[in-house]
Amino acid sequence: MALYSEKVMDHFRNPRNVGVIENADGVGEVGNAKCGDIMTIYLKIENDIIVDVKFETFGCGSAIASSSMATELIKGKPVSEALQLTNKAVAEALDGLPAHKLHCSVLAEEAIKAALKDYYDKNHIEYDAGQFPDCASCGHCCGK
């Protein structure tokens, strides 16, 4: 059995939505150099819809594929729906990730949530803090 699914390989070799959005409405960065994966998600939001999303990821193929798939899953969606995206949904959309690479899908979820929180903060939109887990207690390698 192959270590990576065809979808993972496709999103690694042909990542969607790579780049930066200047004057993004929300930006989220997670990860650190110690664990090797850093993801930044940029959001453009109009009328509560994510009209554009871009990413920059420094990391392994699974991190790039997870970032790419996550952006595809939220593009064109309402903010409230994007906020519900889980790492499990990202991994399933990629037809699975090896167990030792599941943290990549977690980072993609966290980067999107960080960008949405940034959007809420910039626009003084009230939100339930419980929607955004305390990064210091999550147990992942983002280092915040």
Note the Cα 37 to chain centre separation in Å.
Answer: 12
Q: Which of 35, 60, 135, 141 is catalytic?
A: 35
Q: Is 35 a catalytic residue?
A: yes
Residues 6+ apart with CB under 8 A from 122: 25, 26
Cβ atoms 27, 43 nearer than 8 A = yes
- How far apart (Å, rounded) are the C-alpha atoms in residues 112 and 69? 12
- How far apart (Å, rounded) are the C-alpha atoms in residues 55 and 40? 6
Q: Is 104 a catalytic residue?
A: yes
Active site residues: 35, 104
